[in-house]
A and B are shown apart, each in its own frame.
Chain A
Amino acid sequence: MRTFGALLLKEEKAIFTSPIAYVVLSVFLVIMGYTFTLTLFVSHVPTLVHLFFQIYVLFLLTVPIITMRLVAEERRLRTIEVLLTAPVSEALVVFAKYLASLSLVLLMLVLSGAYAITLGILGRPDWGPIYSGYLGLFLLGAALVAVGLMTSSLVSNQIIAALLSLSLFLLLWIIDQFGWMLSDPFDALAVNLSLLVHFTPFATGSIFLSDVGFFLSIALLALFLSVRALARR
């Protein structure tokens, strides 16, 4: 446990001493603030649904930037050899990197909570969809970070890792559009692989446990594949 704590601390330091984290946070908050203000002044409806969809899109764009360097950078600098020869398992290394990146995503969500608090002060919002929206965003973030970590484990170039993650996320975003062109049962498979199809109910206040399971299974699968990819010499 102590080894894991040390690994996690190392990864947290690596993330929060990098300018990438602060640039991502700043861009995220500026865009969110603009969207929130605009939505509130135009619609006069105390809801965060638009904000949740905006965060969804921003996650798809920013998570690859957060995760691209996790393993790819270590492979490029050959520090991965030092890490893998240390008396820690590959799984612990992956979990430490995963939790450190997830903490940045969580921080983004916590900071965006200011909009929910503002809404609570100014009006009387329905808190149920707000809680469910944040739950959905957290699960989405957890799944995206795991997939980003997996792609970073597969290649040794950060840019390629980021582009690979981005391509995968965009494909999973729009895959339901292709579903209608496919025959049964591939249409259902394509539609159910879509991130948006599973995220939309959360954002509007409708929670399906299968959606929770979808994001959890993606995160677990990607973490498992990351462990195997990391062990690849």
Chain B
Amino acid sequence: MSARSVRLLFEAALFLVALGLGAAAFDLVDHTVADALYFGAWCAAMLLIFSLALRLPLHLRGRLAYLANPGIVGAALGLALLANIALYRHDAHFDATVSGRFTPPPELETIARSLQDDVVLTYFYNSKDDYAYGAKQVLEVVARRHSHLTVRVLDLDTELVAARDYRVKLYNTVVVEAEGRRTQIENTVDLRQMAYAIERPAAARPDGLLCHRAWRTLRSRPCAFQSRGDLGCWRAGRLGRTGSAAKRARSAQAGDRDHRRQ
């Protein structure tokens, strides 16, 4: 078999692999497996494009030959950029640590996934606090996976101007902002608490509000929340499949706290 036919076979195989993995990823419910398959399809597609690009003539002749090389280089750069954006949108994350240091709690994952509008979370953490540092790392992982959640992590000791602007005085303060509403939690490294703080300003809307008893428990916590929004209310329409899961998680936690208080 000649080298040319081997290369042709290799390209055909790459095309089939890319197509097969892409189709397999399309139907899967498990996001991580689907994104991993998507990554396999992406790799095969990139290798195929690379192989095809090497077939382009290296020495061009004609009137527009002087434009061809910059054009090819520009197209290659553009393609690489678009390929990375596409991959970023279907990113999969694997936590290689035994302790699961980078794995977010299910509440945070569910609420971040269910976000439909942009939410900005600013965490003024204490860099000397290991728990705060751990929370910062998990928040960054979650923010990378969910485009509607923007996380800004600031060291309170060094970001004094930002702290003054936000009127933050205590370490490990979380400020969540969404559509002009703001929620603040002071002195927390609890990612579940942060998850509920993310959901509250994102979900509190003037249309179709649903009150939930978990907020009573959360509001009773001293110095926990200061918000200008419609406290303790969620939009009914948002309690779909993911919303119900988050609601169940909240109810379980609230019940647990009530039980402990008794």
Within 8 A of A (CB), among B60-118: 69, 72-73, 76-77, 80, 83-84, 87-88, 91-99, 101-102
B161 contacts partner chain A, Cβ-Cβ < 8 Å: no
Contact among A1, A212, A220, A228 with B72 in the assembled complex (CB-CB below 8 Å): A228
Q: Which of A181-233 contact B (CB under 8 A)?
A: 192, 204-210, 212-214, 216-218, 220-221, 223-225, 227-228, 231
At the interface, yes or no: A129 with Cβ under 8 Å from chain B? yes
Establish whether residues B87 and A213, one from each chain, have CB atoms under 8 Å apart when the complex forms: yes
Task: Please judge, given known A-B contacts A205-B95, A208-B93, whether A213 and B84 are in contact too, CB under 8 Å.
Answer: yes
Contact check: which of A131, A210, A218, A224 meets B50 at CB < 8 Å?
A: A224
Q: Closest CB-CB distance, B129 to chain A, in whole Å? A: 17
Assign chain B's interface to a size class. 35 or more
Contact B92 A216 (CB under 8 A): no
Q: Can you list 6 residue pairs at the A/B interface with Cβ under 8 Å? A: A207-B95, A208-B93, A217-B83, A220-B50, A221-B76, A224-B53
Q: Is A74 interfacial (CB-CB < 8 Å)?
A: no
In the complex, what residues of A have CB within 8 A of residue B42's CB?
A: 213
Please tell me if the beta carbons of A126 and B91 are within 8 angstroms of each other in the complex: no
Q: Is A205 in contact with B80, judged by CB distance below 8 angstroms?
A: no
Check B96–A227 contact: CB distance below 8 A.
Answer: no
B36 proximal to A (CB < 8 A): yes
Q: Would you call A217 and B80 a contact (CB within 8 A)?
A: yes
Asked if B76 and A225 make an inter-chain contact with CB atoms under 8 angstroms apart, the answer reads yes
If over half of A's interface residues share one DSSP class (helix, strand or loop), that class is named, otherwise mixed; here it is helix
Interface members, chain A 81-130 (any B CB < 8 Å): 90-91, 126, 128-129
Give chain B residues whose Cβ lies under 8 Å from the Cβ of A209: 35-36, 39, 87, 91-94
- Chain A's closest residue to B141 (CB) is A206
With contacts defined as CB atoms under 8 Å apart, how many contacts are there between chain A and chain B in the complex? 90
Given contacts A209-B39, A216-B43, A231-B58, contact A132 B96 (CB under 8 A): yes
A210 and B76 in contact, given A128-B96, A228-B69 (Cβ under 8 angstroms)? no
A208 touches B144 (CB 8 A): yes
Establish whether residues A208 and B43, one from each chain, have CB atoms under 8 Å apart when the complex forms: no
- The complex places the Cα of A209 from the Cα of B58 at a distance, in Å, of 33
Shortest Cβ gap from A187 to chain B (Å)? 11
B163 interface contact, C-beta 8 A: no
Q: Contact mask B122-141 → A, CB, 8 Å, 1/0?
A: 00000000000000010001
Which residues of B27-48 have CB atoms within 8 Å of chain A's CB atoms? Answer: 35-36, 39, 42-43, 46-47
Q: Which residues of A contact B36 (CB under 8 A)?
A: 209
Do A206 and B46 touch (CB < 8 A)? no
Q: What is the distance, in angstroms, from B106's C-beta to the closest C-beta of chain A?
A: 18
Task: Report the bound CA distance from A192 to B84 in whole Å.
Answer: 9
Is there an interface contact between B84 and A217, defined as CB atoms closer than 8 Å?
A: yes
Please, which residue of chain A has its CB at the minimum distance from the CB of B39?
Answer: A209
Give 9 A-B pairs besides A206-B141, A221-B76, A224-B50 with Cβ atoms closer than 8 angstroms. A128-B96, A128-B97, A206-B93, A207-B95, A208-B92, A208-B144, A210-B87, A210-B144, A224-B76
